[in-house]
Amino acid sequence: MVDADRTELPFADLAVIGAGVVGLGIAWEAAQSGRSVRLIDPRPATGATYAAAGMLAPVSELHYQEEDLLELTLASAALYPGFIDSLPGAGASAGYEKTRTLVLGADAADRRALEDLRDVQLQHGLPVDSIAIREARSLEPLLGAHLSCAFSIDADHQVDPRRLAASLEAALAAHADREGSPDHLVRQHAAGLIHADPEDSESAVTARARVPSTRCAKTARQELSTPPE
């Protein structure tokens, strides 16, 4: 890990700016492929990762006029078990649960909306079972008193983002130790990207740090969002 007061950061094949669960996952996949990686984030695994619900729900989260995304979300969900298994201990501590998802309605309007959505889901070959409210209560005894409908979706699962992030952090640290790269995590803000060869966008990369003020942070975000010329 690089000290927060250093500004000369090591070069690597890939620099990942942001070490939430997405950035950690990208870094882990890259490390698995043999690439050297630098994670750059002053506070890894906080922010949205700390608050996210961890729903892996391509079926229940299908929305009207977003059907074109369905192929991608289903493919992503299908890849998730392999991603979890790639972690040390086959991801036993990653918080991945293959339990079914219950989708519930509280009133008549909910029931109509969910039944209409189920029609769309079935048209796309997605398994969505309508179950009795009594069965739903047997599956989840803490459900509230007022329910109008219940649907069971076996293909939708969940993961605990905090536990997954911790597993990824530990896996990346262990990988860095094996590779002799203790500086894999840079606890600084990134102010811009620097390539070893400025003329080659595929050359080794690192980041310019650090951002000491709100004004600089805004400038950094603008710089990072500007595509290279």
193 forms bridges with which residues in the sheet? 207
**In this predicted structure, what is the pLDDT of residue 129?**
97
Token duo for residue 166: 């911790």
Displacement of CA 189 from its chain's centroid (Å): 20
Helix%, strand%, coil% for the chain, nearest 5: 40, 15, 40
- In tens digits, what is the pLDDT along the chain, a chain of 229 residues? 554 444 455 678 888 999 999 999 999 999 999 988 989 899 999 989 988 889 999 999 998 888 889 999 999 999 999 999 999 988 789 999 999 999 999 999 999 999 999 999 999 999 999 999 999 999 999 998 899 999 999 999 999 999 999 999 999 999 998 888 777 888 888 776 677 787 887 787 766 654 333 333 333 333 333 344 4
Q: Can you spell out the DSSP letters for 131-174?
A: --HHHHHHH-TT--S--SEEEEETT-EEE-HHHHHHHHHHHHHH
Token duo for residue 187: 């606890």
Q: What φ, ψ does residue 141 adopt, rounded to 5°?
A: -65, -20
Q: Give the SS3 label for residue 192.
A: strand
> CA nearest 148: which of 122, 130, 121, 127?
130
**In this predicted structure, what is the pLDDT of residue 54?**
93
CB neighbour list of residue 71: distance below 8 Å, 6 or more residues apart: none
The structural domains of the chain, ordered by start, are 1-54+160-229 (3.50.50), 56-159 (no CATH)
Q: How far apart are the first and last CA of the chain?
A: 32
**In this predicted structure, what is the pLDDT of residue 143?**
94
**In this predicted structure, what is the pLDDT of residue 1?**
53
> CA nearest 49: which of 168, 157, 155, 156?
168
